[in-house]
Structure 1
Amino acid sequence: MTGARLLRGAAGAVGFLVLAELFIRFGVSEDLKFPAPSVILLEAVRLPADPDFLEGVVTTLGNWVLGLLVATAVAVPLGVLLGALPPVERAIRPLLEFLRPIPSVAIIPLAILLIPVDELMKVSVIVYASVWPILINTLYGMHDVDPLAKESLRSFGFGSLAVLVRVSLPSAAPFVATGVRIAAGIALVLAVSAELLAGGVAGIGVYVNIAGSGNRTDLMLAATCWAGVLGVLANMLLLTGERRLFRWHRMRTGAAQS
């Protein structure tokens, strides 16, 4: 099933690239200078040999991983705390629902003004964007805990902390993993966006800016393709780990074959 889906996805991508190639080469006016997919893919293949691009990738990935780790360290305990204390959650929930829909990209100019240290500013924006999916999924996980399991453990004399550690946290863990996986994609978007808007010494977004200033649209799109590839690889890695670690959860929810 998975192999068939991958094959269909690959066929769709190849078909799209072929149509785009034909359209750009034969259907677009010569006055519009836009690189064909074959040119972009060729530059994308060459980019790993460019030391400046590799330095940018390392910088972007460093900010991305650091921001995601900090967001996880903040959001998971907060989600567990709010999930374990319903009155506190009800009091704070309106504030969360007000802040959560704010587009994370929109706070980048404000972060540039408030945080003078470039790397700290970029990591802070990533943290802000990544906290929400992890926090909300942790809350959902805490709400999904089987009350009968908690009551059974209490009936054997276990206290609230033991119930939290033995029942609530293991039950919520698959939801947390899903939140981290969703946040990983958002974090990468914000990492590149912050570099595009704020500039800096290195980064994929910085490389795109430099290529754009030199009117190298092919390099801009090739670097953007690599950002997409990194996002896909990260999602696949996290999804594989999620399926292996929480196979029991997928079987319980009837998603083992998905």
Structure 2
Amino acid sequence: MIILVLELVTRLEILPSRYLPPPSVVIGRLFELLTEPVAWQAIGMTLLAWFLGLLIAAVVAVPLGLLLGTSELAYRATRPIVEFLRPVPSVALIPVVFLIFKPGSLEGTVFLAAFAATWPLLVQVIYGVRAINPVQMATARSFQIGGAQTFLRVVLPGATPYLSTGLRISSSVALILVVTGQIIMGAPGIGMEINRAREGADVPLMYAYVIIAGVLGLLLNSVFAAIERRALHWHASQRVSVR
């Protein structure tokens, strides 16, 4: 319905088609674009930067979150630092990225994605560990279960739902920062192609790449949601959603 309304108002020039082409024109350009290698190269570069950024965020945030969640002293000592760095917009670091990395480099976008994706995942893991029922920990101690087994049987299963949610959130954040970094810094990928289309006044092409970015985000979120449902089929939240 929304697409039909947009088609009508742009065809009638109620909204200027120069800046907002009819959806039929954009969709047609999109299908043409998907037959061109340049589009798939841009998608591949964006996915590569997204994957590397999310991987770095997970390698940093998961062990650190488990440590801070299990140690009250470490949690209290580092909480001011986390709360100071977490709200910092990653886009504000772009001047720093220009100083450290080469303009248009893959490393710069990966750094932005990793920085932005680390904080949601870190906070989720910390909260997941701290939300574990103390009775479960006391039961493990009463049965004289060792530290490693307690971690595997109590801490990790208790934090996994929070971890999976954090990964899903961080995945979206990483993709947003990758595309943003590519637009601003000129790194290869969907963002750079959006900027090229804008500079060339090819508005339908620009919107076609925007749609590709949106569909990519939707697909990645769906993949993480499906993995979460499969991995956490034993969890109460998934049983409720299935019913």
1:256 partner letter: S
What's the TM-score, normalizing by structure 1? 0.88
Distance 2:240 2:16 in 1: 51
Aligned to 2:129: 142
1:152 partner letter: T
Shift of 1:218: 0.6
The answer to whether the 8 Å contact 1:68/1:184 transfers is yes
Distance 1:65 1:197 in 2: 20
The one of 90, 93, 101 aligned to 1:107? 93
The answer to whether the 8 Å contact 1:247/1:256 transfers is no
The one of 238, 249, 258 aligned to 2:235? 249
Aligned to 1:91: 77
The answer to whether the 8 Å contact 2:54/2:117 transfers is yes
Q: How many residues align?
A: 242
What runs of 5+ residues in structure 2 fail to find an aligned partner? none
Range with greater deviation from structure 2 (76-85 or 153-162): 153-162
Distance 1:93 1:52 in 2: 45
Distance 2:213 2:67 in 1: 35
Aligned to 2:166: 179
Shift of 1:27: 4.7
The answer to whether the 8 Å contact 1:243/1:250 transfers is no
The answer to whether the 8 Å contact 2:10/2:17 transfers is no
- Give the SS at the match of 1:256: helix
Aligned to 1:7: none
- Give the SS at the match of 2:21: coil
Distance 2:181 2:99 in 1: 13
The answer to whether the 8 Å contact 1:40/1:222 transfers is yes
1:183 partner letter: S
Range with greater deviation from structure 2 (26-35 or 79-88): 26-35
Distance 1:109 1:235 in 2: 30
Residue 174 and residue 207 in structure 1: after superposition, are their counterparts in 2 closer, same or farther (change >3 A)?
A: same
Distance 1:55 1:82 in 2: 40
In the alignment, does 2:193 pair up with 1:207?
A: yes
The one of 175, 178, 184 aligned to 1:191? 178
Shift of 1:220: 0.5
Distance 2:144 2:205 in 1: 64
Aligned to 1:80: 66
The one of 38, 60, 77 aligned to 1:52? 38
Shift of 1:81: 0.3
What runs of 5+ residues in structure 1 fail to find an aligned partner? 1-14
Residue 236 and residue 27 in structure 1: after superposition, are their counterparts in 2 closer, same or farther (change >3 A)?
A: same
Range with greater deviation from structure 2 (165-174 or 217-226): 165-174
Distance 2:173 2:133 in 1: 30
2:21 partner letter: P
- Give the SS at the match of 1:49: coil
The answer to whether the 8 Å contact 2:198/2:206 transfers is yes
In the alignment, does 2:144 pair up with 1:162?
A: no
2:106 partner letter: E
Residue 22 and residue 63 in structure 1: after superposition, are their counterparts in 2 closer, same or farther (change >3 A)?
A: same
The answer to whether the 8 Å contact 2:121/2:163 transfers is yes
Shift of 1:148: 1.0
The one of 18, 23, 26 aligned to 2:12? 26
Percent of aligned pairs with the same amino acid: 37
Shift of 1:37: 1.1
The answer to whether the 8 Å contact 2:70/2:129 transfers is yes
Shift of 1:28: 2.0
